[in-house]
Structure formats: structure tokens, C-alpha cells
Amino acid sequence: MKNVTIYQNKKVLVLGLARSGMSAAKLLNDLGALVTVNDGKPFEENSEAQDLLALGIKVITGSHPIELLDEDFSLMVKNPGIPYQHPFVKAARKKGLPIITDVELAYQISEAPIIGITGTNGKTTTTTMIEQILNQGLPQGQAFLSGNIGYPASSVAKKVTKEDWLVMELSSFQLMGIDTFHPKIAVLTNLYDAHLDYHTDRSEYVNAKWHMQQKMTATDFLVLNWNQNEIQQLAKTTKAHVVPFSTKEVVLNGAYVLDDWLYYQTEKLMPVQALGVPGKHNVENALAAIAVAKTLGLANEEIIQTLEKFSGVPHRTQYVGQVAGVKYYNDSKATNILATKMALSGFEKEKVILLAGGLDRGNSFDELVPDLCQLKAVILFGETKEKLAEAAKAAKISCIVLTDDVSTAVKEAQKIAQPGESVLLSPANASWDQYPNFEVRGQAFIDAVQTLN
């Protein structure tokens, strides 16, 4: 960890705990800051606040009193999940209080260079692919996962050395709170409409993503999805060295698909079919990972071996196993229509039984109809099962089954599936009608598959 002295005896307010807030508070305390933590959860229910108090850190819980901002704070470190429209945050901004997130702190203390990955879809898979390739092929040091992938950046940054790499998944929420943050390599997987309930509009969302490269220079590498014209236009505004990837055209200065093979520049690496995970979106993710690895000079053999063995990230088109010749895939992270469309693109549809359904947010599923065409069957559950059944009828699917939940859907799928076919959980809906989160829903699928015989 770098010897950072700028926080000594400075009053810093940490707003919101959870993992990133807890990590930031401890780090700032270690750096000599006078830390105050403010979290909405009552103290008696707040084990994190209790732990911090035991360390001598001041904690204020149960509410966000505006008068707290009358103290002479130099900085606020905000939990990324708290929106900027929150009254307390708006009041802090009105006072001119600088606001950062813990990824900025991580950059300030990290001895290791950073590979930052952001985008609407594919962040976690691409981040994991990169980490696994680097740990297979780096001649020295180690790659460490961090950031939005579940490992607080400011905790991981404490332990890395100059020989290591910090592979950091970054959300738009986190990127709105950076200042000096400067990755050596950055990846933008794609841009679609998302999180517009958090951001004031799409422009703010895109700007947050693009903010990642603000400090990059011509000696840094920016890996961009060349399939999207919007990103091509953004590329004209960066100082970084752009490395494109594309599934639609040959980009000789980057990574691309040609005749169902993955290439980097003029090097022919591996067939698309050899990837360990299916789907057009995973081809894009793999191309981005290849571009990063080749930029670092890693050997083709190490890249290929890793991507062939890559079985996916939990709940993201994750291969669960095979029962009686039928393959089962867990894509519980598909909490919207776009994610399910992308998942289906990786399969021979006539050999797929789709499991879908979940929280009813009031939308129809008309745009999913073309992607449902030719599926062998759909098995539907949750609040949206009737709506999805209408879409399946419009797609002329002959076998439509309505059932209770994911576990019963797996049992219904087994009755229909034949050897050589696939059962895909890709719900196209959030989980909150029946499950606390998509991870619990995905685990219910895995557990149900493991009971089959």
C-alpha cells in the first residue's frame, strides 16, 4: 500500500456502510483520518457500525441528520448505492463538499496498476475472464478481482504489490465518484439504457461510464466495443490508445471474429465454438478479454486454455451440469428482456427449453417474441407467467407450461427434455416476487438440477 498522508487529521464522512463503506471507513482510519460514519440502519441492528465503534470510529446511525453536515468535513466517501438525489447528498453537494466512492480511495493507495471494466452488460464475465487469463499467463505477480464484483476495492488495494494487477469491475454508481482515478487499461463492454431510476437521464449514465477514462493518456489502453456506433463516436474524445473489438467487422488493430474464429490483429487464436460458455454476448466478452491479454503481451496458448475452460460466472449463463444427456444452464442474472435475448442468441433454439418469469414491473414482453420463436418449450413462473405465456403464444410455441417457481420449473423441464437439448433459466425479470435476489433464485435452480436423476 502506498504511503498516503493526505488524510491525516482530516475530518471525513463515510455515508452508508455495507461492504464498501465498511472497507472505506477502516482504510481512512488507518490513514489517520478523523472518520465519522453515518448509516441509516439502527445501531442495534447494525453489526458493521458496532464493529467500527469498537475501533474508536464515530458512528451515527438510524437516520441522516442534515445538521451533521455543519461539521467541518473535508470529504464525503459515499456508498455507491445511495443516489445523488438523496436529500442528504444533495445538501452535501450544495455545501460544496467533495464526494468520492471507495474506488477512488483504492486508486490512491494501490501499488498495482488497475484494469478497469465497465459497461451495461458483461462486466462481471469480462472481469472474471481477464482475471483468470492473467493468473494463467502472468510471468510474475497476481491478478486480484475487486470493485463491483463483490470485493471492496479499498480492501483489495491494501494488499497488492507493484508486480500485481488490480482487475476492477466498475459500475456507473462508482464512477460518478472518481477524481484522480487512472486505470492503465480500461474496458467498455457496451452501452444500453440502464439505471435510469438512479441517473437523471441517459446522458448522465453514459457520462459516468465514460468518466472512467478521463485521466488516461496515450500510454494507456482503452478497449472498446466497436459494434456500437455510440462508442465509436466517444472514442474520438479520448487521449488513450484505443483497442477495438467487434463481432461484426474486421478490426485489424484489435480483436474480432472472422469465419467463426477469434482473431487478434492478424493472429488466428481459436474457434468461437471452443469457448467454454455459449452466446454472442460471451463472444464479445471473450474478445474484450483477449484484447487486454494481448495488450499485456500474454501468450496465445495461455489465453486459449483459459477461455476453453471458462465455465461462466455464477448465475450468468453458468453451465450447471448434464443429466441424462440434457445440459442445464443458470442465467438467473438475466433480470431484464435484453439479457434474456442475449442469452438465447447462444443456443440452437429448437433444442432449448426456456425457464422464465418473475417480478411484474408493468411491462409487456412483445420485444421478446422474435427471440422466443422456434424454442422447443417455455416453462413459466412468478408474477409475469401469464404475460410471458401471451408472448410465447405470439411466437407460436406449441409447448407452454405454467408452474409455481424455479424448482417446479426444473422438474417440468425434465419431463420434456431429450438428450442433446438444453434447459436454460433466463428469467427476463427481477426475482423479488419470490426470491430476495437473483443469486438465491439461481441457487434454487442449481439445487433443483442436482436432485434430478
Do 145 and 251 have their domain in common?
Answer: yes
CA distance 189 to 284: 8
Residue 337 lies in a domain: yes
E strands within 79-205?
A: 99-100, 114-118, 143-147, 165-169, 185-188
The domain boundary residue, chosen from 286, 309, 332 = 309
Alpha-carbon distances, residue 330 vs 117, 313, 440, 441, 449 (angstroms): 23, 10, 12, 9, 10
pLDDT of residue 178: 97
Check whether 16 is labelled as a binding-site residue.
no
**Cα–Cα distance between 299 and 398 in angstroms, integer?**
49
Helix (H, G, I), strand (E, B) or coil at 321: strand
pLDDT at 279: 82
DSSP H helices, 276-398, are 280-295, 300-309, 337-344, 369-372, 385-394
**Which residue shows C-alpha cell 439461481?**
442
Q: Are 107 and 277 in contact (CB under 8 A)?
A: no
Tell me if 62 is assigned to a ligand binding site.
Answer: no
Do 34 and 114 belong together in one domain?
Answer: no
Q: Look up the CATH number of the domain holding residue 159.
A: 3.40.1190.10
Does residue 1 fall inside a structural domain? no
Instruction: Write out the DSSP string of 387-444.
Output: HHHHHHHHTT-S-EEE-SSHHHHHHHHHHH--TT-EEEE--SS-STTTSSSHHHHHHH
Q: Is residue 4 part of a domain?
A: no
Rounded-to-integer distance, Cα 294 and Cα 280, Å: 21
Element (H, E) at 151: none
Does 403 belong to an annotated binding site? Answer: no
Residue 201 neighbours by CB under 8 Å, 6+ apart: none
Note whether 32 and 78 are same-domain residues: yes
In the listed set 46, 80, 100, which residue is the last one of a domain according to the structure?
Answer: 100
Same domain, residue pair 89 and 113: no
Judge whether 287 and 257 are in contact, CB under 8 Å: yes
How many angstroms separate the CA atoms of 63 and 162, rounded?
A: 41
- Are 251 and 293 within one domain? yes
Looking up cell 478497449 gives 223
The pLDDT score that the predictor gives to residue 314 is 86
Give the chain's domain count: 3
In a domain, 204, yes or no: yes
3 is a domain residue: no
Q: Residue 310 in contact with residue 132, Cβ under 8 Å?
A: yes
Instruction: Tell the residue number behind the cell numbers 445538501, with chain if given.
Output: 91
Give the CATH number, domain containing residue 374.
3.90.190.20
Q: Are residues 122 and 219 in the same domain?
A: yes
Q: What is the pLDDT of residue 8?
A: 97
Residue numbers of the chain with a pLDDT score lower than 50: none
**What is the reported pTM?**
0.84
> Is 124 labeled as ligand-binding?
yes
Residue 2 labeled ligand binder: no
Q: Do the annotations mark residue 161 as ligand-binding?
A: no
* pLDDT (0 to 100) of residue 338: 87
258 and 322, same domain (yes or no): no
Domain boundary, last residue among 78, 100, 122: 100
- 318: burial class by Cβ within 10 Å (0-12, 13-18, 19+)? buried
Is 41 marked as binding a ligand?
no
Identify the pLDDT of residue 281: 87
Same domain? For 35 and 70 the reply is: yes
For residue range 76-99, what is the model confidence (pLDDT) as tens digits?
A: 999 998 999 999 999 999 999 999
Dihedral sign computed on CA atoms, order 155, 158, 164, 169: positive
CATH number for the domain harbouring residue 95: 3.40.50.720
d(CA 419, CA 166): 42
Residue 346: what pLDDT? 83
Reading the block at residue 153, the C-alpha cell is: 476495492
Say whether both 149 and 278 belong to one domain.
yes
**Domain region containing 390:** 318-450
What percent helix, strand, coil does the chain show, rounded to 5?
A: 35, 20, 40
Set of cell numbers at residue 32: 489517520
Q: Which of 178, 172, 120, 128 is nearest to 149 (CA)?
A: 128
